[in-house]
Structure 1
Amino acid sequence: MHHHTLTRFRLTGAALIVLLSALLLVSTAAGLAPQATPTGTSVLASSYTPPATPPVVPIPPRVDLLEDADHIVNILVIGSDTTGETPGRTDTLILVSINREAGSVAMWHVPRDLFVYIPDYTMERINVAFEVGYYRGYPGGGYGLLKETFLYNFGIEVDFYAHVNFYSFQRLVEELGGLVISVDCAIQDWRLQDGADPTLGDSYELFTLPVGRHRLTPDLALWYVRSRFSSNDLDRGRRQMDVLRAMWLQARELGLLSQVTELWPALTEAVTTDMTMVDALELVPLALSLDPGDVARYGGREGVHFRRTFTPGDGRDVLLPNRDALLPLLRDFLTPPTSNRVQRQGATVEVVDAAWYGLGFDVVAADRLAWEGFRVTPTGPGGEVRRELTVIYDYTGWSKGNPVTDLQAILRVDDAHVIRQPDPNRAVDFRVEIGTAYNTCIYTALPNAPPPDPPELP
């Protein structure tokens, strides 16, 4: 294959990985007739072989199927901790659910340390299910056992999968020209210095990626999706979902979503998936028109949806699902957008960068708000306005159902910094001026490390 063709393939491959993983579109939204949910390769076993030795914690009962609707399609995005051909552990598991009737998309990050029953095996971390299925010759291989594991523990039938490893991910980022992403929570971890010997301890430096808009190299992008030093696995899952969305947006901006038919054979050499080219072609129209606010993300919280514990005997640090809280979360994940989210989608918001750091805080905040369903327009620097604390202007005059309270909660703005100026002739419903103290971290927070002081105003 000629180099030019390879480059075009890898670029389109980056777009389609996200198409297959984060932003798959429903046929009805694309103007096509709805189809029945495809039959996956899950082995719907009625019973399983008991473990050879008693598991360290009791095996929970099977979860009843949470949905059985033809208009819902679930796709599992898999990332392995390998660079070669060995199966490795699936340290990235993100389930994408598409509701054909509602035209909605949602993502759920599954913690790698979630301790679940792996059918025909034992209680174990979910990230080893693929490896167990691969080496044990489970029907459907590693993918078959992963699908059955999701069905047993979460009551969710997986219809398709898309699988990449570290090497594939870095190549895709390279051919995209770097990953352009909004970092809304500073992250710090040890990182190999450029050109240094990875076997030497002094080859690593403590590196901080600050809040802002960044273009990440392949190595830095992989560092970003793997890091846990200053955060945890749940926060890492949030970043991984950010990366999926960022790759989709970047590929769309570069015009890379129109070459599916030509490049599909080459794509499937790098991305392992059980989707067909016909399946992918049905997904292209919405991927071209979908607003970021149409995509929701779900994670879960330790102490609420998951309980950290140490396994008896061997003392492994794992997360046990709290089904009383997790299953309602998954039902929300599988259903159309809530009324609150629909209400947010009806509001218009403009965001300006009043921090004067030159780091694109307006785009960072807009991307954060889009996750909650807001339709947001970043407008760049705020002219002569400089702020330390973020300010929200409310032009609506709405009393009931005013989403300004949601804006406040997401951006952490108190009532004193909400300015109400009802305007029946308004161009937008809300104006947000982002200050230097911007911080919307969900799990952990490092102090913002600002660049040099901005220039004096004329």
Structure 2
Amino acid sequence: MMRFTLIPAILAFGLAACLPSPKSERNAPRLEKLPTEIFKTSTPRAVSPNPQPTSLPVFDVGWPPPFTYGNPPTPPTPIPPPSAPLAIDPAIINIALLGSDRRPSWTGFNTDVIIILSVYPALGEVALLSIPRDLYVYLPGYSMQRINTAFSIGERVNYPGGGPALFADTVRYNFGIPIHHYAKVEMDGFSRIVDTIGGVDVNVTCSYRDWRLRGPALDPQVEQNWQLYTVPTGIRRMDGDLALWYARSRKLSSDFDRGRRQQEVLRALYREILSLELIPRIPQLYGDLKDAFTTDLSLSDLLSLAPLAARIDTADVRSRFIGRDEVTSWRIPGSGAQVLVPKPERIAALVADTFDFDALDDLVPELALTVEIVNSSAQPQWGALAAERLEYAGFATHVGSNSPSPGTRTHLIDYGLAQDGSAEAILQSFDLPASRLTRESDANSPFAFRLVVGDDYDPCFDPTRDQLG
């Protein structure tokens, strides 16, 4: 069973967060008309040629009102009220992992990758919440803006505490999530670390095709330097340049799909770091990489979490995304800029689910909670891809040997050792009907379930949709 180690996870997430977006990419998906119910106070209004401050909601004590810092334009939408603080255990540690698009010649930057890493040491569990860069939210004391601008605006307008404070306050105001630490990574570093460890094996669950430079040193402004490149489904060995492209390309896809691919690359980094036994080298790696990121976490802070390493399994890592189900696409009147407007009730439910840490039943042996995967398909790598899918759903896995059996259809065997609803959750994860479930009570089985992968299995799935069942 693959182990997830917190220290390299934080470093890997930080490095992966710096993935630069190709210069030529422009993503323009079809936009929906903005429903009036998205905003709680009134409908959006057109931008006036001579905007004037408008009536604003009463702000809770401690929240600075709009226009306190800087000179922002009047927002084209009402400013939503603050979210209720999330009720979480004080022992939980929330770390904002931010990827900056800053180039050496730029003075400004955006944090285009935003992941909230939440660690619950008492239970040995971890949650990850990915936030899309174009989410249109209130920046306390400023105005409505994309969330990826919060850090840089905080620096520019001299917000108390600077960029880290405005970003943390933005997350707390709009989602009720407290942020305790942050790590911001610049663009360089990702390819370097992947190449340093010799590359990564990425579980590519969905074949991906997009425009790619024929060589990393070529001029991206020359059209002939580009080619359509396909990464087929399966376990693919990637060097730093390919991993960088795969995790950041979005010309023919979207930010939501890019988030899925980033998760695949991050899991590949976890596996590679663990297989190379790099944990004892954490102090050296921290020193070698400290010029690639800024953080308020010290080396001692990271090392203090090391005892969790042997306790956290990939099945204990809850991955969540603010995805298509939680937002509405919209263009800002006047500028035409594309943003994502939050659906407050959907996001509140997702956030509550993300931080709902449940204690594991220590009375049940660990292996009895595992899903054994038997690959009976003609595709030798589909067992590993099925395991990836189950781990997203929160199940521990054991991938057995391949045993091809032509004509086998994907099905599930329940040995009667797991709690009610677990079998149905597995079926739902694989879009299988109830007729594909067989119950065979076996108190001596080392596994709770056996998933038999047949030739009808489609490994492609979207973890950003239907996350709440």
- Fold equivalence (TM over 0.5): yes
Aligned to 1:391: 411
Q: SS at 1:258's partner residue?
A: helix
- Return the alpha-carbon distance in structure 1 between the equivalents of residues 207 and 258 of structure 2: 12
Q: SS at the partner of 2:164?
A: helix
> Map of 1:240-389 to 2, 5 A cutoff?
240-302=262-324, 304-337=325-358, 347-358=369-380, 360-382=381-403, 384-387=404-407, 389=409
Q: What SS class does the counterpart of residue 328 from structure 2 fall into?
A: strand
Superposed CA offset, 1:321-357 (max 9, x none): 11122112212222213899x9997622111333333
Cα deviation, residue 293, structure 1: 0.3
Give the letter aligned to residue 318 of structure 1. V
Decide whether the 8 Å contact of 1:83 with 1:166 is kept in 2: yes
Match of 2:459 in 1: 439
**Normalised by the size of structure 1, how large is the TM-score?**
0.80
Q: Determine if contact 1:351/1:376 at 8 Å carries over to the other structure.
A: yes
Q: 1:152 to 1:424 in 2, by over 3 A?
A: closer
Moved more, 385-394 or 121-130: 385-394
Q: Which amino acid aligns with 1:65?
A: P
Deviations 1:289-325 (A, max 9, x none): 42110100111342x4212222222222211111122
- Aligned equivalent of 2:64: 47
- Give the drift of 1:369: 0.6
Residues matched between the structures, number:
408
Does the 8 Å CA contact 2:100/2:111 hold for their aligned counterparts? yes
Shift of 1:376: 0.4
Alpha carbons 2:414, 2:449 under 8 Å: kept: yes
* Structure 1 segments of 4+ aligned residues over 4 angstroms from their partners: 12-16, 19-22, 342-346
CA drift at 1:417:
3.2
SS of alignment partner, residue 111 of structure 2: coil
- Per the alignment, residue 114 of structure 2 pairs with 93
Q: Percent identity?
A: 33
The alpha-carbon deviation at position 114 of structure 1 amounts to: 0.3
Quick check: 1:105–1:296 contact (8 Å CA) kept in 2? yes
Q: How far does residue 17 in structure 1 lie from its aligned partner after superposition?
A: 0.6
TM-score by length of 2: 0.78
Q: Identify which range, 179-188 or 90-99, moves more after superposition.
A: 179-188
The one of 8, 11, 15 equivalent to 1:17 is 11
Q: Which residue of 1 aligns with 2:80?
A: 60
Letter in 2 for 1:418: L
* Mapped contact 2:125–2:312 kept (Cα < 8 A): no
Deviation at 1:263, TM superposition (A): 4.7
What residue identity is the alignment partner of 2:345? D
Pairwise CA RMSD: 3.1
Q: Distance in 2 between matches of 1:16 and 1:444?
A: 22
* Correspondence 1:136-285 to 2 at 5 A: 136-194=157-215, 196-285=218-307
Amino acid at match of 1:324: E
Equivalent residue number for residue 425 of structure 2:
406
What is the alpha-carbon distance in structure 2 between the residues aligned to residue 374 and residue 273 of structure 1?
A: 32
Query: Which runs of no fewer than 5 residues in structure 2 stay unpaired?
Result: 1-5, 17-60
* Cα separation, 1, equivalents of 2:206 and 2:408: 17
2:136–2:339: 8 Å Cα contact kept in structure 1? yes
Counterpart contact for 2:124–2:311, Cα < 8 Å: no
Tell me, what secondary structure is at the counterpart of 2:188?
helix
SS class of match (1:156): coil
Structure 1 runs not aligned, ≥5 long? 1-11, 23-43, 446-458
How has the CA–CA distance of structure 1 residues 427 and 68 changed in structure 2, closer, same or farther, with 3 Å as cutoff?
closer
The answer to whether the 8 Å contact 1:116/1:124 transfers is: yes
| 1:231/1:444 contact within 8 Å kept | no
Q: CA deviation at 1:363?
A: 1.3
How far apart are the structure 1 equivalents of 2:252 and 2:358? 32
CA shift, 1:169, in A, is 1.3
Question: What is the CA distance between 1:444 and its match in structure 2?
Answer: 9.9
For 2:14 and 2:139, the matched residues in 1 are separated by: 25
User: Matched residues in 2 for 1:435 and 1:190: separation?
Assistant: 33
- Equivalent residue letter for 2:299: M
